[in-house]
Amino acid sequence: MLTVPNLSVEKKYNSIAVLTSGGDAPGMNAALRAVVRYGIAQGCEVYGVLKGYSGLLEGQIHPMNASSVANIIQRGGTILKTDRCLPFYKKAVRQEAANLLVRKGIEALIVIGGDGSFTGAHLMEKETGFPTIGVPGTIDNDIFGTDDTIGFDTAVNTAIDAIDRIRDTASSHDRIFLVEVMGRSSGFIAINTGIGGGAETVIVPEQMETIASICKTIERGIRRGKSSSIIVVAEGPKPGLAQRVADGLAKKNYNPKVCILGHTQRGGQPTASDRLLASVLGASAVATILSGTSNCMVGVQKNKVTLVPFKEIIGTKKHLSKESMELARVLAT
């Protein structure tokens, strides 16, 4: 279980802002609640920025109090809303954003998001000196430097719940089902869903399977008396991979069904584990930045909160462990 660190603060700032950016993830609200309440407890003014970097540039910055974050810990999405903001890729625009925060009397910024959002925060701090800190919020769990990201556990639970339901119909009809989960460049959701959902095969971007090898697995299952199979497919760089695999299997005289879970994996109530992670990381981000450490992410490694400089995270790929891929394969046989 995640250890709650010493969160004592040597307060260097009195006014902070928080925003959510990039893809939304269940648990972002729990992180926001922790930031606001922990910040207020330290005697800070806390401002919420609407719609990520877009709202920041538009000056959509509002004071928050303990009641602004009441009754949100259990809600998916983000009450601050989120956005993708192309202008923020420009240096002059990031300078403008920092100037705007300074003019409002805000001294530091907490960014809840993924590695893209952290790149924006890192560049803004490097170029302007405005202190920023990141809280990892993405269902994909693909951020280097942290074992877990907020939203991942919920997304995996959602996908496993879907697989349990699909398995009922798959076994009633003796069918093969291809279940496509999110994961464009990483197979974290797919592999954990595959292991936890008891899938017969897991296809991840890190280790693509050929149609011939998938057929072999299906045949082996049939020889063992299996009449149905669940194949979990990470969407990969070009979503729709499950359908392409289904087309390949159809050419080998199978008749698989395809179920694309899509955005159902993003929504819904965060799990207990995501709420706890979000609460601890949100409060840790406040304690860290108020004490004067910035340009980094608060993450978790081996159940302990860690600080990882943004420059170590950005552009570094987090690899799916060979062990988990092997375990998924062995348990499926």
Q: What is the gyration radius of the CA atoms in the chain, in angstroms?
A: 22
CB of 257 to ligand ADP, least distance (A): 31
Q: Per the residue annotation, which of 24, 83, 115, 140 is the catalytic one?
A: 140
Q: Where are the beta strands (DSSP E) in the chain?
A: 15-20, 45-49, 61-64, 108-113, 132-136, 176-181, 201-203, 229-234, 257-260, 296-301, 304-309
* Nearer residue to ligand ADP within complex by CB, 112 or 305: 112
Query: How many whole angstroms separate alpha carbon 235 and alpha carbon 171?
Result: 24
* Nearer residue to ligand ADP within complex by CB, 138 or 193: 138
CB of 30 to ligand ADP, least distance (A): 17
Determine contact, residues 235/208, Cβ cutoff 8 Å: no
Q: How many helices (H) and strands (E) does the chain have?
A: 11, 11
- Cα dihedral sign, 313-316-318-321: negative
147 among known catalytic residues: no
* Nearer residue to ligand ADP within complex by CB, 143 or 181: 143
* Nearer residue to ligand ADP within complex by CB, 116 or 198: 116
When CB distances to ligand ADP are compared, the closest residue is: 116
| Contacting residues toward ligand ADP, per CB under 6 A | 21-23, 53, 84-85, 88-89, 113-117, 119-120, 123, 138
* Residue located via tokens 């609407």: 50
The crossing angle, in degrees rounded to 10, of helices 211-223 and 241-250 is 70
Using CB atoms within 10 A of its CB, is residue 86 exposed (0-12), middle (13-18) or buried (19+)? exposed
Using CB atoms within 10 A of its CB, is residue 161 exposed (0-12), middle (13-18) or buried (19+)? middle
CB of 84 to ligand ADP, least distance (A): 3
CB of 107 to ligand ADP, least distance (A): 21
CB of 218 to ligand ADP, least distance (A): 35
Determine contact, residues 20/82, Cβ cutoff 8 Å: yes
DSSP 131: -
Residue 196 is encoded by which pair of tokens? Answer: 């936890």
* Nearer residue to ligand ADP within complex by CB, 23 or 256: 23
Query: How many whole angstroms separate alpha carbon 55 and alpha carbon 60?
Result: 5
CB of 121 to ligand ADP, least distance (A): 8
* Nearer residue to ligand ADP within complex by CB, 28 or 214: 28
Catalytic residues: 140
